[in-house]
Structure 1
């Protein structure tokens, strides 16, 4: 199953590079550097497309070997001992990177939400009656404020 290993390694490399970009994004959010943040968000789009392509490759390969209904962990478990060791290593690395990306992404989201609440409070103190960015607006993707880039 060398091909599956190669797909996992390629995915891990992609997520490693994406993780670096997410840390830069966090730094730009902390520094309120909206221009650099916009550029970073644009770069993220390319990563998302590459991730989708690799996911499609992985799915196609798994279908090709007749394990369409199996999870990646189940496929690794069913592999021979030699393949199992290298696939487990690649799988663990990819899992670690994805977990780290999720953590930094959640942190970015939290910082942005805190700042938006501060903006709402400041707007209320200035006599503005409605929330600038209410939870209902977020759910409906109907933002009233253009204080931050819509790309975030």
Structure 2
């Protein structure tokens, strides 16, 4: 009979890591949207440290699964193969990790999209392309930025 307490402790370490990584990713997204490049770089350094820790935890997880005779199994497969009492202990941990991973994937996709938009704007500005410089009047007519007054410049 296998003792799954060490594996459960390892899963708790993953949860703690993701609990610190998710706010970093959210702050990185906020900085990306606001074009705060230096702040994005700082968050990337924090992210790199977390990724190194994640790699270490992954190696421990693989070794622990091998020790338990569950090498190469997914969390779902582990729950199917182990006694119900152990599965009851691990399932909430697996569910929490699954939710955290989904949050991270969503944040990373949004960050990637925001960075791509920012890079596209930079490319357009560097090439002198007027795309993105046009605005639209209240009637929906396309105007160039220098040709109409900004709403804040009008007298009230």
Pick the TM interval, shorter chain: 0.7 to 0.9
What is the aligned length?
127
Specify which of 76, 92, 105 is matched with residue 73 of structure 1.
76
Report which of the two structures shows the higher radius of gyration computed on alpha carbons. Answer: 2
CA distance in 1, matches of 2:100, 2:41: 24
Which of 80, 85, 88 is the aligned partner of 1:82?
85
* Structure 2 unpaired stretches of 5+: 131-156
Normalised TM-score (structure 2): 0.76
User: 1:41-88 deviations in whole A, cap 9, x for unaligned?
Assistant: 111111001100110001001111222142222112212111111211
The answer to whether 1:23 aligns with 2:45 is: no
> How far apart, CA to CA, are the structure 2 residues paired with 1:114 and 1:71?
36
TM-score by length of 1: 0.78
Write out the 4+ residue segments of structure 1 that deviate beyond 4 Å after TM superposition. none
Tell me, which stretches of 5 or more residues in structure 1 are unaligned?
128-152
Match 2:98 to one of 75, 95, 100? 95
RMSD between aligned alpha carbons?
1.5
Q: Does 1:119 align with 2:122?
A: yes
Match of 1:43 in 2: 46
Cα deviation for residue 116 of structure 1 reads 1.1
Map Cα deviations across residues 77-112 of structure 1 (whole Å, 9 max, x no partner).
Answer: 212111111211000000000100110111011011
Which has the bigger relative contact order, CA under 8 A and spacing at least 6?
1
The SS at the match of 1:11 is helix
Of 63-72 and 44-53, the range deviating more from structure 2: 63-72
Q: SS at 1:66's partner residue? A: coil
